[in-house]
Structure 1
Amino acid sequence: MTQHRLREGFGYGVVATIAMSILMLVALVSEMSPMPQPIPKAIVAQLFGSGIPKPLLMALAVGLHLGYGGLFGAVLAGVARPVTIRKGLALGIGLWAVMQVTFLPFLGWGVFGTAIIPKIAAATLILHLVYGGVLGWTMDRDTSSAAGASPTTTD
């Protein structure tokens, strides 16, 4: 496992997190999201308290979200050969499941968001499928292009 592969995985993880975050923010702004606030922001507020200045809160939330997404992109790059869309989607579903039973209860939103509204589970699943799909697609395209193969591998 090379550092280059891990760095690429981290970078693609950040790209996938940005794609996921754009969708999340569009849903929040358009009031289509069942979540009362972005989950990264809620986690940082829960960890550091409500008195944290908003610019610092947002910087920490964005940094943590991008770092977490990048970290798991690197993990996928390190353990999966080749990285494919299917493997990216599986990672997204796994991260979603962990979030449902750890982070949402930590926020007081209940397992699968049921303390607020069960639609949170579906909304966050869509977001994590976007993350995993973009991660798998971009990494698959990169490795397929480098090998001269078709970038549409889905295995």
Structure 2
Amino acid sequence: MITTNSGRRAVTWSRVPAGAGWGAVATVAMSALMLAGVAIGVAPMPKPIPAALVAETFGTLPEPVRLVLAVVAHLGYGAVAGALLAVLVRQVSVRIAAGYGALLWVVMGLVWLPYLGWGLFGTAVTPKVAVATLVLHLVYGLALGLLLDRRKEAVG
């Protein structure tokens, strides 16, 4: 944000590409951990959340279409969230970004998991979903914070 001559805060749009790009990269880090957990059988979720959201929203789709939609939606959500953080916070730190990841977890726990029928924070499936998804969102926030903090001179 910058301050205009009238004293109002103006959005620093030049930070959007870096925030979106690093948000997508942070989503890849989060997704890799999520998919590893599913692959080795330690993830408490019945299926990866982006895939579950696509299935719930669009119904029966061919597997390749469902997979592409899930990947695009998750990367897009992460990119938009990263861009939003980069625009709203002038100097992103790891601490701020980790808190932002936790805030995104709250949104997921209050909106998206109930939408799936998994209850608040996934507790209708198991309370372990809440812990696992918090860890994943902290990984997103920490990765985003490290990337945006490291690059703050280049993005704003």
TM-score, structure 1 length as denominator? 0.90
Question: For 2:68, which of 59, 75, 80 is the aligned residue?
Answer: 59
- SS, match of residue 106 in structure 2: helix
| AA matched with 2:114 | P
C-alpha separation between the residues in 2 aligned to 1:111 and 1:54? Answer: 28
- How many Å separate the matches in 2 of 1:15 and 1:114? 29
Aligned match for 2:93, one of 84, 103, 123: 84
Instruction: Please name the residue that 2:8 is paired with.
Output: none
How many residue pairs match? The answer is: 145
Q: Over residues 77-109 of structure 1, what are the superposed CA-to-partner deviations in whole Å (9 max), with x where a residue is unaligned?
A: 001010110111111000000111111111011
Q: Is 1:102 matched up with 2:125?
A: no
Equivalent in the alignment of 1:70: 79
What is the aligned counterpart of 1:41 among 36, 48, 51?
51
**1:24 is aligned to 2:34:** yes
Residue identity matched to 2:132: A
User: Could you tell me how far apart the structure 2 residues matched to 1:3 and 1:58 are?
Assistant: 32
Match for residue 16 of structure 2?
A: 6
**Long gaps (5+) in structure 1:** 148-155
CA shift, 1:113, in A, is 1.0
* CA displacement at 1:122 relative to structure 2: 0.1
Measure how far apart 1:2 and its partner are: 4.1
Identity value in percent: 51
Selected match of 2:149 from 136, 140, 146? 140
DSSP 3-state at the match of 2:151: helix
Q: Note if contact 2:13-2:87 (Cα within 8 Å) is conserved in structure 1.
A: no
Shift of 1:3: 3.7
Partner of 1:153: none
Gaps of 5+ in 2: 1-10
Q: RMSD between aligned alpha carbons?
A: 1.3
